Chains A and B, each alone.
Chain A
Amino acid sequence: MSYDRELPAIDKTEFLPYSGRKQDPIQRPSANYWQQAFRKLKANFPALISLFIIIGLLLFTLIGDKIWRVDPYAQDLTQISSPPSFNKKALVIPDKIHYQPVYLSNLEDYTVKTSSTGMSIIGTPTTQFIAFKWQPVAGAKGYQIFRHEYLPHGIDDLGVPLGTNDSGDHVSYLDALRLEPIDYFYSVIPIFEEGQLNQYSTIKITAANAIALGDAVGLGIIPKHQKMHYLGKVINLPAHPLGTDYLGRDMLARLIEGGKTSLFIGLVAPLIFVFLGLLYGGISGFLGGKADEIMMRFVDFIIALPFLLFMILFKVAFGIGPGESGIFPMLVALILLSWPSVARLIRGQVLQLKEMPYIESSKLMGAGVFHLTLKHMLPNVTGLLLVTFTFAIPSAIFTEAFLSFIGMGVVPPTPSWGSLCNDGIQTLLTHPHELIFPALFISITVLAFNLLGDGLRDAFDVKTKGERP
Chain B
Amino acid sequence: MPALTKLSVLVFFLSVLLSSCGISKKETALNEKNQEISLALTTEPPKLNSIKSADAISFIILDHLTEGLLRYGPNQQLEPAIAKKWKLTKTGATFWLRTDAKWQDGITVTAQDFVYAWQQVVNPKTASGYAFILYPIKNAESINKGKLPLESLGVKAIDDFTLEVTFEKPCPYFLELVAFMTYRPIRKDLHQEWGRAYAADAETFISNGPFTLTEWVHGAKIVMDKNPHYWDKDSISLNRINIPYITRDPSALFNLFLEEKIATWITPALGSGSIKKALKEHLSLKKFETGAVFYFEFNHRDDRLTHNKNLRKAIQHVIDPYLYTNKVLGIAGNTPAYRLLPKWLIGNKKPLHEEYPLTPVTIDHKIARDYLARAKQELNLTTIPPLYLLIDDGGSNGSLTGEYLQELLNDVLGLTILLDKQIFKLRLQKQYQGEFDLTFSGWAPDYNDPLTFADMFYSQNANNSAQYENVHYDMLIESTYKTTNPKLRAQLFAKMQRILQEDAVIIPLYYSGNIYVQHPRLKGVRRSRTGSSINFSYAYIIPENITLTESNNQPEAMPETKKVMP
Do A and B have CB atoms closer than 8 angstroms in the complex?
A: yes
**A residues lining the B interface (CB < 8 Å):** 73-75, 77, 80, 144, 147-150, 152-153, 155-157, 159-164, 176-178, 189, 191, 194-196, 198, 218, 246-247, 316, 319-323, 407-408, 411-413, 425-431
Instruction: Let me know if B286 is at the binding interface, CB within 8 A.
Output: yes
User: B362-418: which residues lie under 8 A (CB-CB) from chain A?
Assistant: 386, 388, 390, 393, 399-400, 402-404, 406-407, 411, 418
A164, A176, A322: most-surrounded residue (chain B CB, <10 A): A322
Partner of B554 from the list A157, A195, A247 (CB cut-off 8 Å) is A195
Establish whether residues A157 and B421, one from each chain, have CB atoms under 8 Å apart when the complex forms. Answer: no
Q: Evaluate whether A427 and B273 lie within 8 angstroms (CB atoms) in the complex, with A196-B556, A247-B403, A323-B418 already known.
A: yes
Establish whether residues A322 and B284, one from each chain, have CB atoms under 8 Å apart when the complex forms. Answer: no
Establish whether residues B276 and A412, one from each chain, have CB atoms under 8 Å apart when the complex forms. Answer: no
Using Cβ atoms and an 8 Å threshold, which residues of chain A touch B411?
218
Establish whether residues A195 and B279, one from each chain, have CB atoms under 8 Å apart when the complex forms. Answer: no
Partner of A162 from the list B282, B327, B332, B556 (CB cut-off 8 Å) is B332
Establish whether residues A75 and B388, one from each chain, have CB atoms under 8 Å apart when the complex forms. Answer: no
Partner of A164 from the list B284, B285, B520, B557 (CB cut-off 8 Å) is B557
Residue of B nearest to A164 (CB): B557
Using Cβ atoms and an 8 Å threshold, which residues of chain A touch B557?
144, 164, 191
CA distance A431 to B271 in the complex (A): 12
Instruction: Let me know if B214 is at the binding interface, CB within 8 A.
Output: no
Establish whether residues A426 and B553, one from each chain, have CB atoms under 8 Å apart when the complex forms. Answer: no
Instruction: Let me know if B108 is at the binding interface, CB within 8 A.
Output: no
Q: Evaluate whether A160 and B332 lie within 8 angstroms (CB atoms) in the complex, with A149-B276, A247-B404, A429-B274 already known.
A: yes
Establish whether residues A176 and B327, one from each chain, have CB atoms under 8 Å apart when the complex forms. Answer: yes
CA distance A155 to B407 in the complex (A): 42
Instruction: Let me know if B423 is at the binding interface, CB within 8 A.
Output: yes
Partner of B327 from the list A77, A425, A431 (CB cut-off 8 Å) is A77
Using Cβ atoms and an 8 Å threshold, which residues of chain A touch B549?
155-156, 198
Using Cβ atoms and an 8 Å threshold, which residues of chain A touch B282?
150, 152-153, 157
Establish whether residues B285 and A198, one from each chain, have CB atoms under 8 Å apart when the complex forms. Answer: no
CA distance A374 to B401 in the complex (A): 55
Instruction: Let me know if B552 is at the binding interface, CB within 8 A.
Output: yes
Establish whether residues B406 and A407, one from each chain, have CB atoms under 8 Å apart when the complex forms. Answer: no
Establish whether residues A429 and B419, one from each chain, have CB atoms under 8 Å apart when the complex forms. Answer: no
Using Cβ atoms and an 8 Å threshold, which residues of chain A touch B276?
149, 429-430
The 8 closest A-B CB pairs, nearest first, are A323-B418, A322-B420, A178-B330, A161-B287, A430-B273, A322-B388, A407-B393, A160-B332
Using Cβ atoms and an 8 Å threshold, which residues of chain A touch B515?
160-161
Instruction: Let me know if B335 is at the binding interface, CB within 8 A.
Output: yes
Using Cβ atoms and an 8 Å threshold, which residues of chain B touch A316?
423
Instruction: Let me know if B35 is at the binding interface, CB within 8 A.
Output: no
Partner of B400 from the list A148, A162, A246 (CB cut-off 8 Å) is A246
Instruction: Let me know if B475 is at the binding interface, CB within 8 A.
Output: no
Establish whether residues B421 and A148, one from each chain, have CB atoms under 8 Å apart when the complex forms. Answer: no
Establish whether residues A196 and B553, one from each chain, have CB atoms under 8 Å apart when the complex forms. Answer: yes
Q: Evaluate whether A195 and B555 lie within 8 angstroms (CB atoms) in the complex, with A77-B327, A218-B411, A316-B423 already known.
A: yes
* B400 shortest CB reach to chain A, Å: 6
Establish whether residues B335 and A156, one from each chain, have CB atoms under 8 Å apart when the complex forms. Answer: no
Instruction: Let me know if B219 is at the binding interface, CB within 8 A.
Output: no
A148, A189, A427: most-surrounded residue (chain B CB, <10 A): A427
User: B528-566: which residues lie under 8 A (CB-CB) from chain A?
Assistant: 548-549, 552-557
Establish whether residues A428 and B548, one from each chain, have CB atoms under 8 Å apart when the complex forms. Answer: no
* A250 shortest CB reach to chain B, Å: 13
Partner of A429 from the list B277, B327, B403, B418 (CB cut-off 8 Å) is B277
CA distance A321 to B386 in the complex (A): 13
* A73 shortest CB reach to chain B, Å: 7
CA distance A218 to B407 in the complex (A): 12
Q: Evaluate whether A161 and B419 lie within 8 angstroms (CB atoms) in the complex, with A177-B330, A247-B403, A412-B403 already known.
A: no
* A187 shortest CB reach to chain B, Å: 12
Using Cβ atoms and an 8 Å threshold, which residues of chain B touch A80?
327, 330
Instruction: Let me know if B323 is at the binding interface, CB within 8 A.
Output: yes
Q: Evaluate whether A198 and B552 lie within 8 angstroms (CB atoms) in the complex, with A160-B279, A177-B332, A426-B250 already known.
A: yes
Establish whether residues B407 and A74, one from each chain, have CB atoms under 8 Å apart when the complex forms. Answer: yes
* A204 shortest CB reach to chain B, Å: 14
Using Cβ atoms and an 8 Å threshold, which residues of chain A touch B132?
none
* B257 shortest CB reach to chain A, Å: 13
* B544 shortest CB reach to chain A, Å: 15
Q: How many A-B residue pairs have CB under 8 A?
A: 134
Establish whether residues A75 and B407, one from each chain, have CB atoms under 8 Å apart when the complex forms. Answer: yes
Contact residues of A: prevailing secondary structure: loop
Establish whether residues A177 and B273, one from each chain, have CB atoms under 8 Å apart when the complex forms. Answer: no
CA distance A246 to B404 in the complex (A): 10
Residue of B nearest to A413 (CB): B403
CA distance A412 to B275 in the complex (A): 26
Instruction: Let me know if B443 is at the binding interface, CB within 8 A.
Output: no
Using Cβ atoms and an 8 Å threshold, which residues of chain A touch B400?
246-247
Partner of A320 from the list B250, B422, B520, B548 (CB cut-off 8 Å) is B422
Establish whether residues B285 and A161, one from each chain, have CB atoms under 8 Å apart when the complex forms. Answer: yes
Using Cβ atoms and an 8 Å threshold, which residues of chain B touch A162?
332
Establish whether residues B332 and A412, one from each chain, have CB atoms under 8 Å apart when the complex forms. Answer: no
CA distance A153 to B549 in the complex (A): 13
Using Cβ atoms and an 8 Å threshold, which residues of chain B touch A196?
552-553, 555-556
CA distance A160 to B280 in the complex (A): 12
Establish whether residues A149 and B280, one from each chain, have CB atoms under 8 Å apart when the complex forms. Answer: yes
CA distance A161 to B520 in the complex (A): 16
Using Cβ atoms and an 8 Å threshold, which residues of chain B touch A189?
556
Instruction: Let me know if B326 is at the binding interface, CB within 8 A.
Output: yes
User: B72-108: which residues lie under 8 A (CB-CB) from chain A?
Assistant: none
Establish whether residues A411 and B403, one from each chain, have CB atoms under 8 Å apart when the complex forms. Answer: no
A191, A411, A427: most-surrounded residue (chain B CB, <10 A): A411
Establish whether residues A77 and B323, one from each chain, have CB atoms under 8 Å apart when the complex forms. Answer: yes
Establish whether residues A159 and B279, one from each chain, have CB atoms under 8 Å apart when the complex forms. Answer: yes
CA distance A198 to B552 in the complex (A): 7
Instruction: Let me know if B251 is at the binding interface, CB within 8 A.
Output: yes
Establish whether residues A176 and B406, one from each chain, have CB atoms under 8 Å apart when the complex forms. Answer: no
Residue of B nearest to A155 (CB): B552
CA distance A247 to B327 in the complex (A): 9
Q: Could you give 22 example pairs across A and B, Cβ below 8 Å?
A: A75-B404, A77-B323, A144-B556, A150-B280, A153-B282, A157-B283, A160-B287, A163-B335, A189-B556, A191-B555, A198-B552, A246-B400, A247-B403, A319-B426, A408-B423, A411-B419, A411-B421, A413-B402, A413-B403, A427-B271, A427-B272, A429-B274
Establish whether residues B388 and A323, one from each chain, have CB atoms under 8 Å apart when the complex forms. Answer: yes
Establish whether residues A431 and B273, one from each chain, have CB atoms under 8 Å apart when the complex forms. Answer: yes
Instruction: Let me know if B158 is at the binding interface, CB within 8 A.
Output: no
Instruction: Let me know if B217 is at the binding interface, CB within 8 A.
Output: no
Partner of B277 from the list A148, A159, A323, A430 (CB cut-off 8 Å) is A430
* A154 shortest CB reach to chain B, Å: 8
CA distance A77 to B554 in the complex (A): 38
Partner of A178 from the list B285, B326, B419 (CB cut-off 8 Å) is B326
Partner of A150 from the list B279, B323, B386 (CB cut-off 8 Å) is B279
Beyond known contacts A144-B557, A178-B327: 7 more, CB 8 A cutoff: A153-B282, A155-B549, A160-B287, A160-B332, A161-B286, A161-B332, A177-B330
Using Cβ atoms and an 8 Å threshold, which residues of chain B touch A144?
556-557
CA distance A408 to B424 in the complex (A): 12
Establish whether residues B251 and A429, one from each chain, have CB atoms under 8 Å apart when the complex forms. Answer: yes
